[in-house]
Amino acid sequence: MIVVQSFLKAIGQIGDPRFRKVLLLGVGLTFALLVVSYAGFLWLINTLVGDQVTLPILGEVTWLNDLLSVSSFLLMMVLSVFLMVPVASAITSMFLDEVAQAVEDKHYPSLPAVPRIPFGDALMDTLSFLGVLIVANLLALILYAIFTPFAPFIFWAMNGFLLGREYFTLAAMRRLGREGARKLRAKHVATIWMAGTLMAIPLSVPLVNLLIPILGAATFTHIYHGLSGTRP
């Protein structure tokens, strides 16, 4: 099956130096973004609340700032559990063109060179993908609460669809353009969704989930060439 074969080829190339470079960039920028976001939120609390505040009945209190700071830290830790992977996936996607190129250099060396995706376009795609992932995963919390026994399946199906759509488009539009990628994706929805779900299942495993953007880009590069008839 093309999905399994493509995934195994991607696993076999996981030690590629260009793969490691993209992984370190994605994780490093994600961690930096979370730290900066928390620092900004903490600054906003300190600015709005100040050192002391007057409350009804209690009068002047000086501990509210500390309480909000601690609470915001705990909230950030909880949110990071749900948002770390989507954010890391989205940020790493800015650099996945390099992963796709590494796959083609090794497995499809006879293909003509393609121009690099401009950084501005990659950034806009990343922001769009990040927004969709975060909103979808936050809304899914409602479904998890209503259909608790099926929460893992909802998580895998939803993220599998989103990851498959994003990574296949990334791989295909390098050769076909955005519209060509959309048309080819529409012809193979089931295969792409299945491969995306294969990527989504390890998202529940800490640390392993940080490898998914790299493996996803590599796997879907192979899937694209398989569906378009390119011979390795």
Q: What is the pTM of this model?
A: 0.75
Q: Are 158 and 147 in contact (CB under 8 A)?
A: no
Radius of gyration of the chain, Cα coordinates, nearest whole angstrom: 21
| Half-sphere exposure (Cβ direction) of 71: Cα atoms closer than 13 Å | 7
Give, for all 232 residues of the chain, the pLDDT tens digit: 888 899 999 999 988 898 888 888 877 777 777 777 767 766 666 666 555 545 455 445 454 455 555 555 666 655 555 566 666 666 666 777 888 899 999 999 888 888 777 777 777 777 787 788 778 878 888 888 899 899 889 988 998 898 898 889 888 888 888 889 899 999 999 999 999 998 888 877 767 777 888 888 899 999 999 998 776 6
Cα angle 5-94-106, degrees, rounded to a multiple of 5: 40
- Residue 167 has a CB neighbour count (10 Å cut-off) of 31
| pLDDT tens profile 93-134 | 677 788 889 999 999 988 888 877 777 777 777 778 778 877
Does residue 185 contact residue 192 with C-beta atoms inside 8 Å? Answer: yes
Q: Are 93 and 170 in contact (CB under 8 A)?
A: yes
